[in-house]
């Protein structure tokens, strides 16, 4: 048994640490051994890795430490496990201020990645208090609970590290907002769906390459969005409106989008899509996915043909941020409880206005400005940033009769 001297101001405690192969009844056996010692339970931590259990129990120090130690050693021997009893002081409650969640997503996640991230946390004076796996397939995601770090400095250091390592890292304050219902507002083209609707329409009109060049420049922030949009829409003049139905039938929803919406709706979240695209597409998409609000531009259609004009004001960069604020007010959530997801320069105001702005497979200018970035080809890893694990998602789906493909062994 190792010992450390307690200070006069802190109570003496014992840390009992049990390790070995997990099986039913281990925890019950340990606490049965502690029952006759006249101690109080102060804290408990338990993890299982590949059926190997590590159980830590912090209890108040008894009058007869040797008797307690003998009891837990006998319990461990009966279980075929190892036990250590460490005598010291403190109740494990005095963690440093500056608490944050650092979520790491890798595909794959390598030891060198974790080493570098842990090193940057240490550079800020932060300490990793707890690590929890959020997912192992199709990405690996872990959540690190950190204390004692300056959040702004931590975010800046880890953003640089994420770019160098090729992994995604999000830093969020450890507060109640992470547990409450939020409003999630998403861009549509190349975010909620794969590809750009205006390019798909332009293909029907014979102008796909020309429109695609202008779209890419606008998303990089090199062109005024409204001017570029009106110029591209003019190229659609004369196109039969039935092309909208054909394009909608060809839309591919981003993998993981339905899982994300389905899971968060179960928790009371509200969803909105805000698009520089067209309401003839986005309204149908919102109805299909169970999204509560939708705002986009309306293509003018006269006598069954697209005229090449837009009805009303254009939903541009500022318009997206304004829509976010209006939806938040309607739902009744503070802006700090909003999440925005987008990929283009016209999403920047929306991402900056939200409590959590996520750049999803975004252009570099957007990644640099957002709170965090997700660069995997699935939307549901965003759930891990909100503290929801893959196991919880799959369990909820199983209860609803939704079968999840098994990961590779």
Whole-angstrom Cα distance, residue 217 to residue 223?
6
**Residue-level pLDDT at 91:** 61
pLDDT at 204 over 90: yes
Mean pLDDT (the chain, rounded): 91
> Which pLDDT score is estimated for 293?
97
At residue 223, the pLDDT reads 86
Query: Is it the case that residue 185 has pLDDT exceeding 70?
Result: yes
Q: Which domains does the chain have, with CATH numbers?
A: 2-89 (3.30.70.260), 100-180 (3.30.70.260), 184-378 (3.40.50.1000)
Strand partners, 252: 194
Tokens of 207: 């102008």
Question: Quick one: pLDDT band at residue 6, thresholds 50, 70, 90?
Answer: very low
Q: In angstroms, rounded to a whole number, what is the distance separating the alpha carbons of residues 243 and 201?
A: 7
Residue 407 pLDDT more than 80?
Answer: no
| pLDDT for position 9 | 54
Give the mean model confidence (pLDDT) for residues 38-51.
Answer: 88
pLDDT per residue as tens digits for the range 207-239? 989 999 888 888 888 888 898 999 999 999 999
Give the global pTM: 0.84
For residue 177, pLDDT beyond 80: no
Task: Please report the pLDDT score of residue 221 as a whole number.
Answer: 85
Average pLDDT in the 281-301 region? 97
Residue 366 CA to residue 320 CA, distance in Å, equals 15
Active site residues: 187, 189
Alpha-carbon 186 to chain mean position: 14
* Beta-carbon-side half-sphere exposure of residue 175 (alpha carbons within 13 Å): 10
Longest pairwise C-alpha distance within the chain: 92
Q: What is the 3-state secondary structure (H, E, C) of 74-118?
A: HHHHHHCCEEEEEEEECCCCCCCCCCEEEEEEECCCCHHHHHHHH
Across the range 335-362, mean pLDDT stands at 95
Kindly report, residue by residue over 87-123, the tens digit of the pLDDT: 887 665 555 677 899 999 999 999 999 999 999 999 9
Number of Cβ within 10 Å of residue 32's Cβ equals 12
Q: Which residue has the tokens 């608490």?
A: 99
pLDDT at position 90 is 65
∠ CA 95-97-100 to the nearest 5 degrees?
95
Higher pLDDT, 125 or 93: 125
Residue 381, pLDDT > 90, answer yes
Q: What per-residue confidence (pLDDT) applies to 93?
A: 55
- Residue with the bigger pLDDT between 387 and 405: it is 387
Residue 50 above 70 pLDDT?
A: yes
pLDDT at 153 over 60: yes
Distance CA 328, CA 321 (A): 11
CA gap 100, 237 in Å, rounded: 52
State residue 396's pLDDT score. 94
pLDDT of residue 215: 87
Q: Which candidate, 237, 223, 206, places its Cα nearest to that of 276?
A: 223
Contact 273, 294 (CB under 8 A): yes
Q: Give the pLDDT confidence of 318-332 residue by residue, as tens digits.
A: 999 999 999 999 999
């Amino acid at each position: 048994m190792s010992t450390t001297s307690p200070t006069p101001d802190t109570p003496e405690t014992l840390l009992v640490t049990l390790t070995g192969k997990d099986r039913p009844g281990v925890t019950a056996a340990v606490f049965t051994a502690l029952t006759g010692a006249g101690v109080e339970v102060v804290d408990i931590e338990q993890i299982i890795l590949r059926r190997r259990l590590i159980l830590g129990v912090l209890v108040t120090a008894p009058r007869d430490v040797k008797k307690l130690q003998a009891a837990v050693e006998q319990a461990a021997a009966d279980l075929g496990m190892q036990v250590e009893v460490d005598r010291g002081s403190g109740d494990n409650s005095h963690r440093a201020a500056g608490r944050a969640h650092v979520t790491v997503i890798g595909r794959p996640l390598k030891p060198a990645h974790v080493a570098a991230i842990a090193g940057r946390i240490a550079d800020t004076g932060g300490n990793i208090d707890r690590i929890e796996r959020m997912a192992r397939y199709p990405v690996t995601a872990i959540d690190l609970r950190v204390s004692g770090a300056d959040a702004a400095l931590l975010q800046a250091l880890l953003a640089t590290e994420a770019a160098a390592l090729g992994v995604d890292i999000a830093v969020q304050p450890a507060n109640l907002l992470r547990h409450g219902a939020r409003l999630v507002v998403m861009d549509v083209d190349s975010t909620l769906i794969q590809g750009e609707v205006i390019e798909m329409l332009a293909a029907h009109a014979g102008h796909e390459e020309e429109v695609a060049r202008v779209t890419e420049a606008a998303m990089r922030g090199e062109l005024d969005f409204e001017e570029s949009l009106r110029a591209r829409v003019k190229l659609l003049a004369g196109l039969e409106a039935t092309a909208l139905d054909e394009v909608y039938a060809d839309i591919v929803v981003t993998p993981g989008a339905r899982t994300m919406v389905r899971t968060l709706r179960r928790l009371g979240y509200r969803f909105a899509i805000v698009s520089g695209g067209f309401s003839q597409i986005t309204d149908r998409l919102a109805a299909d996915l169970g999204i509560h609000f939708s705002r986009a531009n309306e293509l003018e259609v006269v006598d069954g043909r697209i005229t090449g004009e837009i009805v009303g004001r254009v939903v541009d960069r500022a318009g997206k941020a304004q829509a976010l604020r209006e939806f938040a007010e309607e739902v009744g959530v503070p802006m700090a409880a909003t999440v925005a997801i987008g990929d283009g320069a016209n999403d920047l105001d929306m991402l900056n206005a939200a409590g959590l702005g996520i750049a999803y497979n975004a252009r570099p200018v957007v990644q640099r400005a957002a709170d965090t970035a997700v660069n995997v080809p699935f939307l549901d890893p965003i759930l891990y940033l909100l503290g929801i694990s893959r196991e919880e998602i799959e369990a909820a789906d199983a209860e609803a009769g939704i079968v999840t493909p098994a990961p590779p062994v």
